[in-house]
Amino acid sequence: MIKKYLSLVKFSHTIFAMPFALIGFFLAVKISNKEILSSENLQLLVLVILDMIFARNAAMGFNRWLDRMIDKKNPRTAVREIPSGKIKSKYALWFVIINSLLFLLATYFINTLVFILAPVALAVVLGYSYTKRFTWFCHFILGLGLSLAPVGAYLAVTGTFSLLPVLFSLTVLFWTAGFDIIYSLQDEEFDKENNLKSIPTLLGKKNALHLSTLSHIITTVFIIWAGIRGAEILGIWYWAGAFFFGFSLIYQHLLVKPNDLSRVNLAFFTTNGIASIVFAVFTLISLYV
């Protein structure tokens, strides 16, 4: 049963935003001159990781529940847990409610500001699921949801806003939007037939890839800006990670062509998953070595 729910929310895709949450967390610890292994920080780290898991479970579970009838009509998604009958829709909805409440509960134990902002964050990550019904820029709303990770983790430690974690959040926003545009190429015809919005249905495959490329160029700009802004605490290891991340963006665009979508999953999951982990590892090494 647990395996079915992990599959429902594509738990392995947590790999996208989690590394950036860890960057936000340890960046805050470094800037605050706090002891990295103190019991207080370890407790906060556990709460941040739990919050990431609960928020993403709620968001993905709600997306699958809301889109269950759409998924049933799409041959690519008809095998998903709800349309295939592996999980009943009412149980999926309860899964969403429970994870939403656990998310709010965890934020309560972090600090007052994070708890106050938690409903806003939840509204963003849940609200994304509606956006494909009315806006072609749904990919950027998805990016906004994931971009809350580094800022939220930073706030968990400091309780204050700062430009550097915001730059990492903007990195996540445009990076996510770019690769989600690539992923949505698979459903261009289905989305058109069912009056669903996406960049490919608006611009076509070729121009959608151009916009995805532009989004990833902007991503690179924010990575460089973050490195310059945090030059006092981010050293050569950061730039090594930034170079790898930039190379991965180029590589995924070499994988996907308007007339050849056979390697979309490689570009979407494998390349981006590895990129986020490597970038986070190099950034953390830069902070503490």
Q: What are the angstrom distances between the C-alpha of 223 and each of 139, 193, 228, 251, 277?
A: 20, 38, 9, 17, 15
pLDDT confidence of residue 9: 67
Residue 132 has pLDDT above 90, yes or no: yes
**Cα–Cα nearest to 82, from 98, 94, 265:** 94
Residue 37 has pLDDT above 80, yes or no: no
pLDDT confidence of residue 12: 67
Query: For a pLDDT cut of 90, what percent of the chain falls above it?
Result: 84
Answer whether 111's CB lies under 8 Å from 37's CB: no
Residue 14 has pLDDT above 80, yes or no: no
pLDDT confidence of residue 109: 97
pLDDT confidence of residue 268: 76
In sequence order, what are the residues at sequence separation of 6 or more whose Cβ sits closer than 8 angstroms to the Cβ of residue 37?
A: none
Q: How far apart are CA 100 and CA 86, in angstroms?
A: 22
Q: How far apart are CA 178 and CA 197, in angstroms?
A: 16
Answer whether 173's CB lies under 8 Å from 140's CB: yes
Q: How far apart are CA 116 and CA 140, in angstroms?
A: 24
- One-letter amino acid at 65 equals W
- Kindly report the average pLDDT of the chain as a whole number: 93
Query: For a pLDDT cut of 70, what percent of the chain falls above it?
Result: 98
Least confident of 1-5, 68-72, 79-83, 129-133: 1-5
pLDDT digits (tens, 9 = 90+) for 204-252: 999 999 999 999 999 999 999 999 999 999 999 999 999 999 999 999 9
Average pLDDT over residues 144-169: 96
What the chain holds in terms of domains, given with CATH numbers, is: 2-288 (1.10.357.140)
Residue 158 has pLDDT above 70, yes or no: yes
pTM for the structure as a whole: 0.95
